[in-house]
């Protein structure tokens, strides 16, 4: 095939649509699950919703006038992705239930040789669209727990939490959503919080039917809303690059905490010691009030071990529980796909990266010709939509793929010095940002302590630079004899 895309979440569906729009039809999308949807298929925990405004959290070419909330819930986003795939005619190209097991570049054939759960495939171009929010991070906790233990992204709906004692490990983005949803159901909830999080008010609301009618009848109205939301998020983004702004915004978070929690001791446990934005920005109107309820206990401690039906904290706290829910996030830098993709010499992406993912414009990796990674290293922002990043990358990828196919090139391999220059520039620019000066340890930092996740500049700059495909940045192989 000309192109194989791995993963049918937002990135893979977007790639498929853009390929079709470019007139490229000899491709397939491999999806190991039984249906598309990516992280919005996998995460079905109670209260699951987006923390980016709905009008902004969508493809620019496929607005959805039917969002029922300003910040859409999981079910609506999943339906949106499925409906968009169908509307743009890419559903037939998605092969569900097919997992890519291994991919290796064959230098002599100038092809990617893939091993899949349904047999071998060959591709001129390989696009990985597996995303950073796919593989849950399961902490290694000594001992054994007698009851059910599950991660929020693999929620066990067969377990009825009504009247049970529940221990929650972690207080990140997922926990901020599911804790308020389950708190009224359980007899007791023990939240083990290693680090307090900044939580801002969430400007969420129901979207009335009249407003949705206006969006359907006058599409320009929703485009204006999207633009306003974009500008608002960009204004907040200034704070990530200028930490003094974030320290001013923190006052909103402190006021939100003070209004929601009366207990001085609980407020103290929930007050972060780092600058807002150093960790992922969280928003909720219900998280703090739920923690103030009589059946909730907050333990400012990591979990040290399990013992029977007891959860024991690092500070010596010991509580009895019937169920443990892990809200411990994802392997966003230790990407599983990196162990499945190999260069011509048999070295994997993980071997190349040695714990610190690197890619030119977060997209192409030196030594891996005709490989493009969507939502790759150092493209993450703390303030805008992943769709903004994705669409910029897709412009770059389609520029490269179309050039390769139309001009008869056999391969494109980003030049090592170009990649190294980009990576060095990013790391230098990150130094003054809140990610590096905010005084926290976050999942933005990889196993070597380097920030391999964050983009240090504006979204405008990201869209301008990442979207531009420059052939001069690549080593281009000799043309093939047969030109498409």
**Confidence at residue 79, expressed as pLDDT on a 0 to 100 scale:** 97
Cβ 280 vs Cβ 382: under 8 Å: yes
- Please, which pLDDT band fits residue 479 given cuts at 50, 70 and 90? low
Whether residue 377 has pLDDT greater than 50:
yes
What are the Cα distances from residue 131, in Å, to 26, 37, 374?
A: 23, 12, 7
As a whole number, mean pLDDT of residues 210-227 equals: 96
pLDDT higher for 308 or 134? 308
Helix (H) or strand (E) holding 318: strand 318-320
Q: Using one digit for the tens of pLDDT, what is the confidence trace for 399-457?
A: 999 999 999 999 999 999 999 999 999 999 999 999 999 999 888 999 999 999 999 99
Structure tokens at 407: 């001009």
The alpha carbon of residue 171 and the mean position of all alpha carbons in its chain are separated, in whole angstroms, by 17
Torsional sign, CA 148, 151, 156, 162: positive
For residue 386, name the pLDDT band (cuts at 50, 70, 90). very high
- Mean pLDDT to the nearest integer, 218-230: 96
CA–CA separation, 37 and 161 (whole Å): 26
Reply yes or no on whether the pLDDT at 184 is more than 70: yes
Region 59-85 average pLDDT: 97
**pLDDT, tens digit, for every residue of 30-61?**
999 999 999 999 999 999 999 999 999 999 99
Nearest to 343 by CA among 369, 373, 372, 377: 369
The C-alpha atoms of residue 423 and residue 448 are separated, in whole angstroms, by 15
Mean pLDDT of 195-220: 96
State residue 376 phi and psi, 5-degree precision.
-85, -165
CA–CA separation, 222 and 370 (whole Å): 37
Q: Roughly what angle, to the nearest 10 degrees, separates helices 219-241 and 209-217?
A: 100
Q: What is the mean pLDDT of residues 103-109?
A: 97
């Amino acid at each position: 095939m000309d192109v194989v895309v791995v993963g049918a979440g937002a990135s893979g569906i977007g790639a498929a649509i853009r390929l079709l729009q470019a007139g490229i039809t000899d491709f397939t999308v491999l999806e190991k699950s039984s249906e598309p949807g990516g992280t919005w298929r996998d995460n079905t925990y109670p209260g699951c919703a987006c923390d980016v405004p709905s009008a902004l959290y969508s493809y620019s070419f496929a607005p959805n006038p039917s969002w029922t909330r300003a910040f859409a819930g999981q079910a609506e986003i999943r339906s949106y992705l499925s409906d968009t795939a169908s509307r743009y005619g890419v559903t037939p190209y998605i092969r569900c239930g097919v997992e890519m097991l291994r991919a290796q570049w064959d230098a002599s054939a100038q092809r990617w040789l893939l091993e899949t759960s349904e047999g071998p495939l060959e591709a001129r171009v390989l696009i990985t669209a597996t995303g950073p929010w796919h593989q849950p991070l399961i902490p290694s906790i000594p001992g054994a727990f007698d009851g059910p233990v599950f991660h929020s992204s693999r929620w066990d709906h067969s377990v009825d939490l009504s009247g049970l004692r529940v221990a929650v490990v972690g207080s990140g983005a997922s926990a901020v959503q599911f804790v308020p949803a389950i708190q009224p159901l359980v007899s007791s909830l023990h939240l083990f919080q290693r680090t307090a999080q900044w939580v801002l008010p969430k400007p969420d609301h129901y979207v009335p039917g009249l407003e949705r009618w206006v969006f359907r009848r006058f599409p320009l109205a929703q485009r204006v809303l999207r633009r306003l939301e974009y500008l608002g998020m960009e204004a907040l983004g200034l704070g990530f690059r200028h930490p003094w702004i974030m320290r001013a915004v923190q006052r909103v978070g402190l006021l939100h905490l003070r209004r929601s929690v009366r207990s001085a001791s609980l407020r103290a446990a929930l007050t972060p010691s780092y600058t807002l934005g150093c960790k992922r920005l969280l928003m909720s109107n219900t998280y703090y009030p739920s923690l103030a309820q009589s059946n909730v206990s907050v333990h400012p401690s990591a979990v040290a071990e399990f013992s029977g039906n007891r959860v024991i904290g690092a500070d010596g706290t010991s509580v009895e529980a019937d169920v443990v829910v892990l809200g411990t996030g994802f392997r966003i830098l230790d990407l599983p796909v990196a162990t499945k993709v190999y260069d011509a010499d048999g070295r994997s992406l993980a071997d190349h990266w040695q714990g610190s993912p690197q890619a030119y414009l977060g997209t192409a990796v030196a030594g891996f010709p005709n490989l493009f990674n969507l939502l790759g290293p150092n493209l993450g922002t703390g303030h805008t939509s992943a769709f903004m990043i994705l669409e910029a990358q897709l412009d770059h990828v389609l520029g490269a793929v179309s050039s390769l196919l139309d001009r008869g090139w056999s391969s494109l391999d980003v030049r090592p010095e170009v990649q190294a220059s980009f990576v060095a520039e990013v790391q230098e620019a990150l130094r003054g940002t809140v990610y590096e000066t905010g005084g926290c340890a976050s999942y933005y930092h990889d196993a070597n302590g380097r920030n391999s996740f964050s983009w240090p500049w504006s979204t405008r700059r990201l869209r301008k630079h990442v979207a531009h495909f420059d052939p001069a940045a690549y080593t281009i192989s000799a043309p093939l004899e047969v030109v498409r």
